[in-house]
Amino acid sequence: MKWKKFKIKTVTDAEDIIISTLYDIGLEGAQIEDKVPLTALEKEQMFVDILPDGPADDGIAYLSFFVEEKEDGSLELNGEPVTEAQICEKVKEELDGLRMFCEIGEGSIAVDETEDIDWINNWKQYFHQFYIDDLLVIPSWEEVKPEDQGKMILHIDPGTAFGTGMHETTQLCIRQLKKFITPETELLDVGTGSGILAILSLMYGAKHAVGTDLDPCAVDAVADNMANNGIAPEQFEMMIGNIINDKAVQDQVGYEKYDIVVANILADVLVPLTPVIVNQLKEGGIYITSGIIDDKETVVTEAVKAAGLELLEVTYQGEWVSVTARKKETQCAG
């Protein structure tokens, strides 16, 4: 398919009202490009693969709307034939109307044509199989090469939840998990995303895993990745909710029952999470964290110590840090 792309230059404060206004004339599915920093909630919902800070917000935004171009080059809007010029005129009229009561910035309209883009699958060209030490990570749309047969292979599709294993923080967690997993391991993965850490733990021999996440999209991503890796439904249980402040989620997850808790989130989330998660760990249980940029290392290690955990190891990859700790065992009086 070919598409006509109508790209509007505006300001970030006007994004929502322009999208809503143009939706009313039949333009849907806006693509937003801006430099607005992530909110605290958005950062909290970045599950596994954590992106670095972007450029400073300059207040400028670009909104792109796409109209399918028929084989004969014609366009339709709301089921009616329309020309490129007519769409531009409709958009201009709406923008001029908005200018009367809000600032929309430049409000210019650029038109371009895109060639046969598969909007659902186009991103797959950027994700290919790769190794994490001796582990081969491969997406479902690629074949295992003959020379890789017999190796430990993780079939992973990120779907709409982050988590492919490419990011340093994920790799740091994987290496730490391998050190502590046993056939009796009960594991809790907080912010499980695509389920990569829990699924790999089961593949490495853990007995059972529970994953929590804030985003309902993680449920389908986890289910797909479990199926792709031969993980039985009874091995991995998913829960949606915020374990930090939701008592119902804490109760459902359970107390003092996990040999390992892994959390690959963000330092600012790990600080309030740590004193809560102590209650889920067994005595002697291992707490593995990452998602920590190097200048936040002390913040997390201090939170670990303040929660009464014993700091075991701090590991590094690039600018990222993993902190591993242990829940102390109660000493019986002699």
Domain containing 229 — which CATH number?
Answer: 3.40.50.150
Same domain, 235 and 276: yes
Find residue 112's DSSP bridge partners. 5
Instruction: Quote the pLDDT of residue 199.
Output: 95
Q: Is residue 236 part of a domain?
A: yes
Total domains in the chain come to: 2
User: Do 274 and 168 share a structural domain?
Assistant: yes
Neighbouring C-beta atoms of residue 245, cutoff 10 Å:
10
Is 102 a domain residue? yes
Mean pLDDT of 215-232: 88
- The residues near 133 (Cβ < 8 Å, ≥ 6 apart) are 175
* Annotated binding residue 191: yes
Residue 117: pLDDT band with limits 50, 70, 90: low
pTM over 0.75: no
- In the chain, the percentage of residues whose pLDDT exceeds 70 is 85
Q: Which two tokens stand for residue 321?
A: 């840090």
b/e code 288-315 from CB counts within 10 Å (16+ = b):
bbbbbbeebbeebbebbeebebeebeee
Of the candidates 273, 312, 313, 319, the residue with the CA atom closest to the CA atom of residue 295: 319
Structure-token match 């084989």, residue found? 71
Pair of tokens at residue 27: 């333009």
Share of the chain above pLDDT 90, in %: 47
Max avg pLDDT among 22-36, 231-245, 319-333: 231-245
* 50 and 100 both lie in a single domain: yes
Which CATH number does the domain housing residue 58 bear?
A: 3.30.70
Residue 30 is given by DSSP the state -
Please give the residue range of the domain that contains residue 188.
Answer: 127-327
Quick one: pLDDT at residue 160?
42
Residue 170 marked as a ligand binder: yes
Locate all alpha helices (DSSP H) within 64-195, ordered by sequence. Answer: 84-99, 168-180
pLDDT in tens, 246-284: 999 999 999 999 999 999 988 888 999 999 999 999 999
Question: Are residues 131 and 76 both part of a single domain?
Answer: no
Higher pLDDT residue, 189 or 112? 189
User: 257 and 151, same structural domain?
Assistant: yes
Q: Does the pLDDT at position 47 exceed 80?
A: no
Measured over the CA atoms of residue 52, residue 57, residue 62 and residue 63, the dihedral's sign is positive
- 230 and 305 housed in the same domain: yes
Question: Are 109 and 150 members of one domain?
Answer: no
Mean pLDDT value of segment 96-123: 79
Q: Quote the CA–CA distance of 307 and 246 in Å, as a whole number.
A: 19
Residue with tokens 């079939």: 155
Q: Residues of 258-282 as b/e, b for ≥16 C-beta within 10 angstroms?
A: bbbbbbbbbbbbbbebbeebbebbb
Question: For the residues 32-39, what does the mean pLDDT come to?
Answer: 71
